[in-house]
Amino acid sequence: MQLILASGSPRRRELLSLFHYHFIVRAADIAETMDPDAPPAAQVARLSREKALAVPREAEDVVVAADTIVVCDHRILGKPRSREEAAEMLTLLSGRDHQVITGCTVLRGERSETFTQVTDLHFRPLSPGEIRRYVDSGEPMDKAGAYGIQGGAALFCEKMVGDYYNVMGLPVCRVGQTLKRLAPEMMEDSQ
């Protein structure tokens, strides 16, 4: 039995390593398209399932897949495609409440569990100079909503309600509980 992370995200790799169980990375190669008419939580749940099913695996392997988005004013913010788009996203989030939603799927053989985790955040008002400096750092470019809470954007967040690790891209407590149900022997080995 192998544990497979269906993501190339360095943050998810770091978070899954908290389980102290050997895993391999097989990034899922799927089209991450969003349906503008579907609820955001349903979108990330669907994408996480598609990622889990897309990676090669043996029957008893365990796959962990996730997809994370930021939602502000009913607008889904994925990864910015340009510096300008990153600045637009951060301007939208400035002084506002928003949500980070992660869809996760844990798959083992024919059994799987998919769930979503939501964290509510509030950013303080950001000046154009702060936004420009943060964008210039390059940090926003591979992150949903154009920010990494574990980096420079920690200076922007006035309030957070929910799972901090969810904002980083993998709600580890809930993933651990799901792994206990689908692969209890794996979790016993990691203790």
The identity of residue 90, as a single letter, is L
Annotated catalytic residue: which of 29, 35, 61, 67? 67
Alpha-carbon span 33 to 16, nearest angstrom: 25
Tokens of 58: 């043996």
Beta bridge partners of 113: 106
Q: Is 29 a catalytic residue?
A: no
Active site residues: 67
